[in-house]
Each structure stands twice: as C-alpha cells, then as structure tokens.
Amino acid sequence: MSVKTACLGAGLLITALLLPVTAEEPKCSNFQSPRNIGPNAPYNGNSDWSIVERILTNNRIVYKPRAGGPSRTLYLCGQHYHFPIETPQGCQGEIPPAGLAQGPGRYVEIHTVYAANQQRPPGCDPQTLNCCTTTPILVRGFIARVTAGGQDRPIVPPTGFPLAEWTGSATSPDYTPGECKAPAVQWSFRLTCGETVSEAQLRQFKCADRVRLLQQGGRVSQDLTRVTRVVKK
C-alpha cells in the first residue's frame, strides 16, 4: 500500500525477492509493514474478535481499536494490488520464481483501504494512499490467484476467518535505504489460499504496485494477532 504510485510497466519481468531486511535498519516513529504472517510467524496473541467490527456496505466499515477506545466508521478511500505479493502466509506458489511475469495461476495481493475522511480530495489517485487523508487508516488485505478472462467486476475483500491483524504502515518499495513509511496503518489480513481474481478485474488498475522487503526486529509491532471464529453455543 503506497502513498506514491510505484507501478510496474506492462510485461516487465519480476526480479524482486521477498526477503527480510537483513541489515540493522533505523527504528521508525511508527511500526512498519509488510511482515510474515505465515504459520511459523511470531504471533503475539489470539482473539475472538476483529478490529473490523462491522461491514456496513462495500464502502463503509466500523473499526474497533484493539488497544481500546471508541469504535469509528471508516470509508473506502482506495484499492490497489501488488505483484508479487508482499505479505507471505505460506500458500504453495504464493511467491513466484524470479523473472516470472504476472498472469493466470500467479498470486497477487490486494489492499482495500479505509480512512476516517468521508470525502476524497479532488483529483486524488485511489490507487495510492493520497485519497486517505484522515486517520485512523485501515487496510483489509488478502492474496488471490489470477484466473484467465473473467468479467470486469469490483474486487470485494473476502469475509470470514482466520485473520491476521497488526499495527504497521504503508508499503511499496523504499525510495531511500531504511526509509520509514507513514502514516500508521491498522491491518486486517484474511488468511486464505483459495481466493481468485480475474484478469478482467485487475484491468481496472493502471498496473501492479511493486513490493517492499519484509520488515523485522524493532521495526515491526508486537501486536500480531490471529483472529479465529468462535462458535457460540
């Protein structure tokens, strides 16, 4: 999820690798994304409720802070996708070998962004974070396998469980070494390997956003939470 547009040209081969930052990077004033959320990731806890308290419509959600405080209505302010994915969760084939281009059978990562501002600034690009001007900002993320053809329909984030939720930041490649991405962002990521998105649906975007290397150490939050469904008896 990027503030600036960071797109790949059509047909450009992928050479980026989803490797963690290995050097000791400077600490930031807010925690950073992306991060590993797979089965072996260091989750800090489990929960039976999500920070996405309610989905009112495709354009509005209710956000409930995990740290406490009143719930807030947030409004859809942007959507974009990354290829290759930024946030590994352990799906087979989620990260393609270097040099392979986007196409049917490959996974992409889709970010749907909500913010407290109800109106978007005139002329802002919804494929960036520039339309999301008022915190809190929340991203509903998921990965999906691309299917051939299809119909040009809106991409709606999947509901259900489990979810991975954490405090992080915007993403996209660093423009300077050790860059700190702002603003602070709440993430709610659907853990699933079975979603699909068609080539026609992806054509609504100008292009794919490039990826940021995985963050680690003191740059990632200590609130990575796995949210599971609780069956009430």
166-186: b (≥16 Cβ within 10 Å) or e:
bbbbbbbeeeeeebbbebbbb
Taking only the tens place, the pLDDT of each residue in 165-224 is 999 999 989 999 899 999 999 999 999 999 999 999 999 999 999 999 999 999 999 999
Q: Domain ranges for the chain, please list them.
A: 45-227
| CA dihedral angle for residue 51, residue 84, residue 77, residue 154, rounded to 10 degrees | -100
Band of residue 24 on the pLDDT scale cut at 50, 70, 90: low
Q: Determine the pLDDT at residue 98.
A: 81
pLDDT tens digit string along 130-142?
Answer: 999 999 999 999 9
pLDDT of residue 157: 97
Under the banding of pLDDT at 50, 70 and 90, the label for residue 230 is: low
pLDDT 10s digits, 137-167:
999 999 999 999 999 999 999 999 999 999 9
- In this structure, are residues 84 and 16 in contact, taking their beta carbons and an 8 Å threshold? yes
Assess whether pLDDT exceeds 90 at residue 9: no
Do you find a cis peptide bond into 26, omega within 30 degrees of 0?
no
